Structure 1
Amino acid sequence: MAPYESEKTTTAGEAAGAPGAGRRRAARYLVPVTVMGVAAATIGLVPALADSGDPDLPEITAAQLIEKIAQSDVERLSGTVKITTDLGLPNLGGLENGLASGALGQGEEGGSSADPSAKLTELASGTHTLRIAVDGPDRQKLSLLENAAEYSLIHNGEDVWGYDSASNEVYHGTVDTSGEDRGQRPPATPEDFAEEALKAVDDTTSVTVDGTAQVAGRDAYKLVVEPKRAGSTVGAISIAVDHETGLPLKFTLTPASGGAAVVDVGFTKVSFDRPDASTFAFAPPKGAKVTEEGAPERSGKPGKPERGPKSEEDLAKGLDGTRTIGEGWNTIVAYEDGTGAGLPTGDTGGDLDGFLGSLGDRVEGGFGTGTVFSTRLVNALITEDGKAYVGAVTKDALVKAADAGK
Structure 2
Amino acid sequence: MAPYETDDGTDTTEVDDLGARRRKAARYVVPVTVLGVAAATIGLVPALAASGDPDLPKISAQQLIEKIAKSDVQQLSGTVRISTDLGLPNLGGLENSLMSGATKRGDGSSADPTAKLTELASGSHTLRVAADGPDRQKVSLLESAAEYSLIHNGKDVWGYDSRSNEVYHSTAAEGSGSTGRRDDVPATPKDLTNEALKAVDATTSVTVDGTEQVAGRDAYKLLIKPRQSGTTVGAISVAVDARTGLPLKFTLTPASGGAAVVDAGFTRISFARPAASTFDFTTPKGAKVTEGDHAAKVPDSANAPSKAPAPSKGSKGDLGKGPDGLKVLGKGWNSVAVLDTGGQGIPSGASSGGGDLGGFLGSLGDQVKGKFGSGTVFSTRLVNALVTDDGTVYVGAVNKSALVKAADAAK
After superposition, the Cα gap between the structure-2 partners of 1:8 and 1:73, relative to the gap in structure 1 and judged at 3 Å, is farther
Q: 1:358 aligned to 355, 363, 370, which one?
A: 363
Shift of residue 397 of structure 1?
Answer: 0.4
Given candidates 359, 362, 386, the residue that maps to 1:381 is 386
Match of 1:174 among 171, 174, 180: 171
Cα separation, partners in 2 of 1:262 and 1:316, compared to 1, 3 Å: same
**2-side partners of 1:10 and 1:69: how far apart?**
26
Aligned match for 2:121, one of 117, 121, 124: 124
Query: Which residue number corresponds to residue 134 of structure 2?
Result: 137
What is the CA distance between 1:153 and its match in structure 2?
Answer: 1.1
Tell me if structure 2 keeps the 8 A contact 1:84–1:263: yes
Give the aligned partner of residue 3 of structure 1: none
Q: Could you tell me how far apart the structure 1 residues matched to 2:163 and 2:25 are?
A: 22
The 5 Å alignment of 1:201-220 reads: 201-220=200-219
* Corresponding residue of 1:405: 410
Alignment of 1:391 with 2:409, yes or no, is no
CA-to-aligned-CA distance 1:90-136 (integer Å, 9 cap, x gap): 22233234334434534x9x722222122222211111001100001
Letter in 2 for 1:233: T
**Is 2:345 aligned against 1:331?**
no
Q: For residues 229 and 132 of structure 1, do their structure 2 counterparts lie closer, same or farther at Cα, with a shift above 3 Å needed?
A: same
The match for 2:372 among 363, 367, 386 is: 367
Aligned mates of 1:65, 1:112 — CA distance in 2: 42
Secondary structure of the residue aligned to 2:64 is: helix
Q: What is the CA-CA distance between 1:143 and the residue it aligns to?
A: 0.8
Given the superposition, is the C-alpha separation of residues 178 and 242 from structure 1 closer, same or farther in structure 2, using an over 3 Å criterion?
closer
**SS of match in other structure, 1:17:** coil
Report the CA distance shift for 1:273/1:8 in structure 2 as closer, same or farther (over 3 A).
farther
SS of residue paired to 1:355 = helix
Q: Which runs of 5+ in 1 are unaligned?
A: 1-5, 24-35, 46-52, 295-303
Matches of 2:29 and 2:368, distance apart in 1: 27
1:161 to 148, 158, 162: 158
State the one-letter code of the partner of 1:392: A
Render the CA deviation track for 1:48-67: whole Å, top value 9, x for unaligned.
xxxxx821111111111111
CA distance in 1, matches of 2:263, 2:8: 24
| 2:386 partner amino acid | L
Task: State how far apart, in whole Å, the 1-side matches of 2:14 and 2:154 are.
Answer: 36
Closer, same or farther: CA 10–162 of 1 in aligned 2, 3 Å = farther
**TM-score, normalization by structure 1:** 0.80
Aligned pairs, number: 361
- Measured against aligned partners, the alpha-carbon deviations of 1:263-294 in whole angstroms (never above 9, x if no partner) come to 00000000001001010011112222222224
- Secondary structure (helix, strand or coil) at the match of 1:44 reads helix
Instruction: Go from structure 1 to structure 2 and tell me whether the alpha carbon gap of 1:398 and 1:40 turns closer, same or farther (over 3 Å shift).
Output: closer
Offset at residue 40 of structure 1 (A) = 6.2
Q: Percent identity?
A: 65
Shift of 1:393: 0.4
Aligned to 1:43: 31
**1:157-214 CA distance string (max 9 Å, x none):** 0101111222222211111225584588531110111111111111000001111110
Equivalent residues in 2 for 1:29-108 (5 A)?
Answer: 42-44=30-32, 54-103=53-102, 105-106=104-105
* Alignment partners' CA distance in 1, 2:279 and 2:80: 18
